[in-house]
A and B are shown apart, each in its own frame.
Chain A
Amino acid sequence: AQSVTQLDSQVPVFEEAPVELRCNYSSSVSVYLFWYVQYPNQGLQLLLKYLSGSTLVESINGFEAEFNKSQTSFHLRKPSVHISDTAEYFCAVGQPDYKLSFGAGTTVTVRA
């Protein structure tokens, strides 16, 4: 089975500063990776995903993540955060048989 480790449970950051959320996975088969975001009092929304091709994937709101096969990582970055980026972020890996395995989540708190 594949597993996901998010290395930081809480990340406080000032507005307009960069942020990086770390995610490592374990897998011996082809990997499909996802980042989901959960804003306060809402369900999860897909932020971006890696399926194949370019190892750098981007979202529409300025986040990007890089798939690194040798380091088994899929870290999420944003060069300049906004207050509205305050949320919990989940890394996930696609499993056979319909399932996703999620990390424990990283709470990002953006302060003015």
Chain B
Amino acid sequence: DVKVTQSSRYLVKRTGEKVFLECVQDMDHENMFWYRQDPGLGLRLIYFSYDVKMKEKGDIPEGYSVSREKKERFSLILESASTNQTSMYLCASSGGTGRQQDEQYFGPGTRLTVT
């Protein structure tokens, strides 16, 4: 089974702090994704990566950056956390070569609260 793990289930940070969210997958997938999930808005793509050291902006990249130094690990960074970044963050991975029919495998999520 594909396993996607995220470093924390719950996280509380203060406004202005730098926040790192880590994601690791164990299926040698090329593609990894970071989403945020908010009630009534579904999942919105923040960033994705289709190869080591490659990254692409999603629909809502502002206020975030990412790092992919190893194939299995994809990190989301909030340079200066703000209260409007309080949300559930979901990491996902997929194999294949960017085909539309590739399903994604999700981690359990990190619920981040910024106070």
Contact = CB atoms under 8 A, between A and B. Distances in A.
A94 B107 contact: no
A104 B101 CA distance: 20
Interface string B20-44: 0000000000010100000011110
> Of A32, A97, A98, A103, which is in contact with the most chain B CB atoms at under 10 Å from its CB?
A98
Nearest to A6: B42
A87 interface: no
B101 A98 contact: no
Interface residues of B, number: 27
A: contact size bracket: 20 to 34
B98 A90 contact: no
B101 A32 contact: yes
A54 interface: no
Contacts of B92: 44
A35 to B, nearest CB: 11
Interface string B38-72: 00111101001010000010100000000000000
B48 A99 contact: yes
A84 interface: no
A89 to B, nearest CB: 11
B94 A98 contact: yes
A43 B90 contact: yes
Interface string B89-105: 01010100011111111
Nearest to B38: A104
A97 B42 CA distance: 20
A44 B90 contact: yes
Given A90-B43, A96-B98, A104-B42, A43 B4 contact: yes
Contact of A94 (B33, B41, B43, B102): B102
Nearest to A99: B45
Interface of B: 4, 31, 33, 40-43, 45, 48, 50, 56, 58, 90, 92, 94, 98-109
Across chains A and B, which 9 residue pairs bring their CB atoms closest together, nearest first? A94-B100, A43-B106, A104-B42, A98-B98, A44-B106, A102-B43, A32-B101, A102-B42, A43-B108
